[in-house]
Amino acid sequence: MPQLKQLVVESPDPVGRDAYERVAAIVLQDLDLVKVVEHLYIYADPMVPIFIAAGRLRHMPRAIRVGDFANVNIGEKMIILDIADETYLAPLLQRLWGRYGKENVDQPDRFTVVLPLGVAGEEELEQIVVADPSETLYKDVIYALQYIAPEGFKVRRQYIKEGIFYYVASEDTLPGDIVETTVKPIFERMGVTL
């Protein structure tokens, strides 16, 4: 199982630094994020007060498409989707209804979805994105950072996109240039350009 490559916690308070290191490791483990977060850098200074977490994710999970869990069979009068894994059936139906209308989508049983011929092509149907695990992963990472940050730090800025993320929190108003002055250098230490 992949482990967190690097967890760095910096703080002028050595007791606080050790506590944040333990809390971050436990939260990432409990939320099963250790296998997706590659690097995490935390800076906490209770005197300022400021909490900054920045990191990089490993590979992002790929989007789940119709072709990943169903066979698309074009018949003489209809298109039949043979569902091999019903895990994504509900979101599949939502996507098909939104795209082709409920009147054009029939579900005679839980492993079959039928569309009228000509509504869509085989390749088009196979490529429809049904679920994107990265959406929930992003929410989980931000949730973890909110949980790690000091209680009461309600002023915050967060960013997560294309495998990198940061979370800045404070009790006070954050300066407008906080990303350029503080977060950007953290990413540079990780070899990432923000």
Q: HSE, CB side, 13 Å, CA atoms: give it for residue 151.
A: 1
Nearest in space to 134 (alpha carbons), one of 96, 94, 167, 162? 162
Query: Residue 130 — φ and ψ, nearest 5°?
Result: -100, -35
Is the preceding peptide bond at 49 cis, omega within 30 degrees of 0? yes
Whether the full predicted model's pTM is greater than 0.85, yes or no, is no
Write down the pLDDT at residue 1: 42
Nearest alpha-carbon partner for 68 in 47, 84, 51:
84
Instruction: State pLDDT tens for residues 114-146.
Output: 999 988 888 889 999 999 888 788 889 999 999
Domains of the chain with bracketed CATH: 6-60+133-189 (3.30.160), 64-131 (3.30.1360)
**Which two tokens mark 61?**
């999970």
Please work out, in degrees rounded to the nearest 5, the angle formed at the alpha carbon of residue 192 by the alpha carbons of 30 and 154: 50
For 41-82, what is each residue's pLDDT tens digit? Answer: 999 998 889 999 999 998 777 889 999 999 999 988 999 999
Side-chain-side CA neighbours of residue 10 (13 Å): 10
